[in-house]
Structure 1
Amino acid sequence: MSSERPALRSLLFVPGTRTGWLAKAEAAGADAAILDLEDAVPPAGKPAARDHVAEAVANMTGDMALFVRINPLDGWAGAQDLRAVALPRLAGVVLPKVNGPADVLLADRLLSWCEREHGLPDGHIALVPLLESAAALREAYEIARAAPRVAYLGAVTGKGGDVERAIGYRWSRDGTETLALRSRVLLDARAAAVPCPVAGLWTDIADLDGLRAFAEQNRSLGYEGMVAIHPSHVPVINEVFSPSPEELARYERLIAAVDRAQAGGAGAITFEGEMVDEAMAARARAALGGGP
């Protein structure tokens, strides 16, 4: 089931206490919304927020994918969250405070029970483990391989967050201090065959130029999308993680050139000043949605 997860360019956090803001996420063009029951909800408000989020999931319409960040599974709140929101319309669960593969296995088992309860196929709901500690980041590959439903795994290195505190780096606008970390986590995710890895996040709401540069850096590394915290960030992220018309046109020309060369018995050819072969054509076909 995990290989069939759709690519998501933008995943926008929405507080679990503000489910009415889902309309804003859709209007911004977010590919997915993440209703947050963890950090965005004070302890006293969690039961009410859980009810509101469950209602929102049950009544969700439209094409935007819907995720829920539950509370950690080291207490009853997280398990109650899962039971309430694991409904047919839910695309995935964002699992915080993951320390290792055992946390993923527990979440996977609980989700399987919830899916059976609602008559859903096993693996219907994706699982997105958040790597927020040094131990989790070091074990990214094992965490990624722990369950087939793991998807969208990546390094989320927002300013002042759990990862900065855990690693001890000093955040900078150009992201130099986390470049190696984001690259290594991406390699672990790819090696584990996790579909559609996403990175994140940019916390300066007004700095859209900084957001664009950070998104472009993540796309260059090989990420397929980013987590966002504000609707104004969504159009920038969507643009960066979408191929431009010029890129699409070049892919089509490259494929046509390689096909013509192969029909004539040639392999590698010169195309617009570069040497290309079937490997480059396969990459172009994948970018156009034609598969490998």
Structure 2
Amino acid sequence: MACAWSRTWRPSSTRPRTRAKVRARSWRSARRSGAAADGPPPTRHQKAPAMGSPPRMFRTLMFAPGSRPELLAKAQAGDADALIFDLEDSVPAQAKDEARRHVAQALAAGLRKPVYLRVNNPRAGDFHGDLAVLDHAAGLDRVMGVILPKADDADDVRVVAAGLDALEARTGATPGTLGILPLIETCLGLRNTFDIARASPRVAGMALASAEEGDFMVDLGGHWTPHSRALAYPRGKLVVDARAAGLDWIVDGVFMNLRDADALRAECALARELGFVGKMAIHPAQVATMHEVFTPGAEEVAHAEGLMAAYREGAEHGIGAVKYRGMMVDLANVRMAERTLALARGR
């Protein structure tokens, strides 16, 4: 964050006609200008945010069981940003092969929305059989990748990444086209979230299975509520580890009670406050509330746009920290503004 003693520049809409005398430069502005600066340089894990377009992020991911072909079709007509064609927990063991056929048929018919395929974990099911259904896709332009359930360590990610390497090679897809969204469902997985996030360049984001009486809560042994203190640390740790690994797309798990809209809104608001940018859905009726909470409002968007304009104007004058609406802002604020605008665009 900018300090009050940093060299400042007020945007033209707020600065007086007589420019204030320049005070001491901040470490960042000194480094950018090439001047000597005290203190260590950024570590290799730190990176300055770009002023260009931020990574694509989905606010909602709607589950559609692979064993229900009518839901695979219906979900594509809904309002969710992206879909999850599920071959894991929502499909009974005896229906796995049939579900793969249904998903393969849906992919062959073409997709109207971005889709992730939730495969079985390589340690627990026929992962390669699940992945093979993507061979039937009518192009992979709307297939975003796979969701890796019960991701416990970096090796889980590497096995899936190798499977995607082979898939892209045999289908002629551009290498690196398909991403991985690890889903943390155990305490062991939470313990290893940073390593999981950095296990492969294919990792596009991170997700926490935060559902009431879901796998993670069962493993944790805690008591779930919409404001659950039992999930405060798991959610916080996941966000911190994902951000430290350079990821911005962080997704909260499903909300199971379809009758309690107020509790759904409360949980979405809590997740956003903690740093999540989206949530998984199990019913179309949940999507509107999720979009409302995870989409920045008009005032937030106006603030972000004004902040970035002020920062750019200051940068044109060689200033790294500017005053905007009474607050000192620098690159950290710009990164937050970029994220706000990305969410506003529903990316």
- Structure 1 length as normaliser, TM-score? 0.89
Match of 1:218 in 2: 271
SS for the counterpart of 1:154 is strand
Q: How does 1:221-232 map to 2 (within 5 A)?
A: 221-232=274-285
Distance change >3 Å, CA 215–CA 66, structure 1 → 2: same
SS for the counterpart of 1:45 is helix
The CA deviation string for residues 31-59 of structure 1, in whole angstroms up to 9 with x for no partner, is: 11111111111111111110110121232
Q: Distance in 1 between matches of 2:236 and 2:67?
A: 34
SS for the counterpart of 2:83 is strand
Aligned match for 1:240, one of 251, 276, 293: 293
Match of 1:44 in 2: 94
Aligned match for 2:107, one of 57, 72, 84: 57
Structure number with bigger Rg: 2
Distance change >3 Å, CA 123–CA 5, structure 1 → 2: farther
- Decide whether the 8 Å contact of 1:174 with 1:214 is kept in 2: yes
Distance change >3 Å, CA 253–CA 195, structure 1 → 2: closer
Q: Distance in 1 between matches of 2:318 and 2:193?
A: 44
The CA deviation string for residues 201-260 of structure 1, in whole angstroms up to 9 with x for no partner, is: 211111111111111111111111111111111111111111111211222333444556
Which structure: greater helix fraction?
1
Aligned match for 1:278, one of 326, 330, 334: 330
- Decide whether the 8 Å contact of 1:261 with 1:269 is kept in 2: no
Match of 1:81 in 2: 130
Match of 1:269 in 2: 323
Q: How does 1:52-201 map to 2 (within 5 A)?
A: 52-62=102-112, 64-74=113-123, 77-85=126-134, 87=137, 88=140, 89-201=142-254
SS for the counterpart of 2:98 is helix
Q: Distance in 2 between matches of 1:76 and 1:176?
A: 33
Larger mean CA deviation between 216-225 and 80-89 belongs to 80-89
Distance change >3 Å, CA 187–CA 265, structure 1 → 2: closer
Q: Distance in 1 between matches of 2:206 and 2:334?
A: 27
Larger mean CA deviation between 225-234 and 257-266 belongs to 257-266
Could you tell me which amino acid in structure 2 is paired with residue 47 of structure 1? Answer: D
SS for the counterpart of 2:262 is helix
Larger mean CA deviation between 249-258 and 213-222 belongs to 249-258
Unaligned 5+ segments in structure 2 are 1-52, 343-347
Match of 1:29 in 2: 79
Q: Distance in 2 between matches of 1:150 and 1:262?
A: 33
Q: Distance in 2 between matches of 1:42 and 1:229?
A: 17
The CA deviation string for residues 91-110 of structure 1, in whole angstroms up to 9 with x for no partner, is: 11111222211111111111
Q: Distance in 2 between matches of 1:228 and 1:178?
A: 18
Distance change >3 Å, CA 41–CA 285, structure 1 → 2: closer
Q: Distance in 1 between matches of 2:205 and 2:82?
A: 12
- Structure 2 length as normaliser, TM-score? 0.75
The CA deviation string for residues 85-144 of structure 1, in whole angstroms up to 9 with x for no partner, is: 254242111112222111111111111001101001222111122211111110011111
SS for the counterpart of 1:47 is helix
**Identity of matched residues, %:** 35
Distance change >3 Å, CA 161–CA 286, structure 1 → 2: closer
Is 1:202 paired with 2:255?
Answer: yes
Match of 2:68 in 1: 18
The CA deviation string for residues 16-45 of structure 1, in whole angstroms up to 9 with x for no partner, is: 112322443344310111111111111111
Cα RMSD between the aligned structures? 2.4
Distance change >3 Å, CA 158–CA 261, structure 1 → 2: same
Distance change >3 Å, CA 217–CA 75, structure 1 → 2: closer
- Decide whether the 8 Å contact of 1:151 with 1:197 is kept in 2: no
The CA deviation string for residues 171-203 of structure 1, in whole angstroms up to 9 with x for no partner, is: 112122201110101111111123411112211
Q: Distance in 1 between matches of 2:324 and 2:259?
A: 44
